[in-house]
Amino acid sequence: MTRRTLHIISCMIVGGALLLAAWMMVAAPAPAFGQGDPPPDRNNGYCFVCHAQPDQAYTLPDGTTLDITIDPAALAGSVHGDSNPVRALGCVNCHGDITYPHLDLPPADARSYRVRAAAACATCHTDQAADLADGVHYTALASGDLRAATCVDCHGSHAIQPPDESREHISTTCGTCHQIAFAEYRQSVHGEALFAGDPNVPTCVDCHGVHGIQHPTTALFRNRSPELCATCHADDALMKEYGISTNVFNSYLTDFHGATVQLFEQQDPNVATNKAVCFDCHGVHDIARADDNKGRVVRENLLETCQQCHPDASSNFPASWVGHYEPTTDEYPLLFAVNTFYLILIPGVLGGFALLIGSDIYRRIRQRRQG
Ligand code: HEC
Ligand code: HEC
Ligand code: HEC
Ligand code: HEC
Ligand code: HEC
Ligand code: HEC
Ligand code: HEC
Ligand code: HEC
Ligand code: HEC
CA-67 nearest atom, ligand 2 = 24
Is the backbone peptide bond immediately before 101 cis, with ω within 30 degrees of 0? yes
The pLDDT of residue 21 = 39
The pLDDT of residue 89 = 87
Whether the Cβ atoms of residue 158 and residue 73 lie closer than 8 Å to each other: no
Distance, in Å, from the CA atom of 132 to the CA atom of 129, rounded to the nearest integer, reads: 5
Pick the ligand that lies closest to the CA of residue 126: 4
Sign of the alpha-carbon torsion through 298, 303, 306, 309: negative
CA-185 nearest atom, ligand 6 = 38
Tens-digit pLDDT profile for residues 282-330: 999 999 999 999 999 998 999 999 999 999 999 888 887 767 865 555 5
Give the residue, by CA position, lying nearest to ligand 3 atom 34. Answer: 121
Burial environment of residue 296 by CB neighbours within 10 A (0 to 12, 13 to 18, 19 or more):
buried
The pLDDT of residue 42 = 56
The pLDDT of residue 17 = 43
Span 349-355, average pLDDT: 76
Span 66-70, average pLDDT: 95
Whether the Cβ atoms of residue 34 and residue 124 lie closer than 8 Å to each other: yes
- The residue whose CB lies within 8 Å of the most ligand 2 atoms, and thus the one to mutate among 58, 91, 97, 104, is 91
Give the residue, by CA position, lying nearest to ligand 6 atom 12. Answer: 284
CA-279 nearest atom, ligand 6 = 12
| Amino acid (1-letter code) at residue 98 | I
Mean pLDDT over each residue of the chain, to the nearest integer: 84
**Residues, the chain, total?**
371
Distance, in Å, from the CA atom of 90 to the CA atom of 82, rounded to the nearest integer, reads: 10
Whether the Cβ atoms of residue 216 and residue 139 lie closer than 8 Å to each other: no
- Ligand 9: residues within 6 Å at CB? 256-257, 274-276, 280-281, 302, 305-306, 308-310, 317-318, 320-321
204: Cα separation from own chain's centroid: 4
Burial environment of residue 127 by CB neighbours within 10 A (0 to 12, 13 to 18, 19 or more):
exposed
Distance, in Å, from the CA atom of 287 to the CA atom of 29, rounded to the nearest integer, reads: 55
The pLDDT of residue 10 = 53
Tens-digit pLDDT profile for residues 81-137: 876 666 678 898 999 888 889 988 889 999 999 999 999 999 999 999 999 999 999
Whether the Cβ atoms of residue 281 and residue 305 lie closer than 8 Å to each other: yes
Any atom of ligand 2 within 6 Å of the Cβ of 228: no
Span 177-203, average pLDDT: 97
Whether the Cβ atoms of residue 52 and residue 59 lie closer than 8 Å to each other: no
Distance, in Å, from the CA atom of 162 to the CA atom of 166, rounded to the nearest integer, reads: 9
- Distance (angstroms) between ligand 5 centre and the Cα of 213 equals 8
- Find all residues with CB under 8 Å of 52, minimum gap 6, and list them: 69, 70, 71, 72
Any atom of ligand 1 within 6 Å of the Cβ of 50: yes
Give the residue, by CA position, lying nearest to ligand 5 atom 38. Answer: 174
CA-69 nearest atom, ligand 2 = 29
